[in-house]
Amino acid sequence: MRKIEHIGIAVADLEKSNALFEKLLGKANFKTETVEGEGVETSFFQVGETKIELLQATRPDSPIAKYLEKKSEGVHHIAFDVEDIHAEVGRLKEAGFEILNETPKQGADNKLVVFLHPRSTNGVLVELCQGE
């Protein structure tokens, strides 16, 4: 794992949270992107080498909608940048972590992403992501 690629934050109202994070970070977001496969609309802010990813649900069965039903707005996942996602999945599986999707799926920014179940990672939803 090379660095924290982004921190995902579940929000109820992307427009409101965009304005809040713009004020907090002193800069505007650099992009928004809808990822239909995950049922989310995202907004990204660059902070040094890493990013803040705000996530709003686009449909009721989105993981973000389910999360907000049970919990509240806040940190939803931590994403690590990896060089070789297949090798990393193999290593983590061997080490006993619970992989949610062994076949990488399409994330934002055309990246391949894999999630680890929070029950195997001290309650933190972990995302691995490999860039182009």
Ligand X SMILES: CC[C@@H](C(=O)O)C(=O)SCCNC(=O)CCNC(=O)[C@H](O)C(C)(C)COP(=O)(O)OP(=O)(O)OC[C@H]1O[C@@H](n2cnc3c(N)ncnc32)[C@H](O)[C@@H]1OP(=O)(O)O
Residues contributing to the site for ligand X (CB under 6 A): 8, 35, 38, 40, 42, 53, 55, 63-64, 66-67, 70, 76-77, 79, 100, 107-108, 111, 113, 115, 117-118, 123, 125, 127
User: CB 20 → ligand X: shortest distance, Å?
Assistant: 19
Report the alpha-carbon distance of residue 50 to residue 69 in Å, rounded: 28
Report the length, in residues, of the chain: 132
Laid out side by side, the sheet with 112-116 consists of 31-35, 40-47, 50-57, 3-10, 74-81, 126-130, 112-116, 105-106
Q: Identify the residue among 52, 79, 85, 92 touching Co ion (CB under 5 A).
A: 79
Which of ligand X, Co ion, none sits in contact with 7, Cβ below 5 to 8 A by type? none
Q: What Rg, from alpha-carbon coordinates, does the chain have?
A: 14
Q: Identify the residue among 8, 39, 63, 104 touching Co ion (CB under 5 A).
A: 8
Q: Which two tokens stand for residue 110?
A: 């055309």
- Cβ-based nearer residue to Co ion, 93 or 106: 106
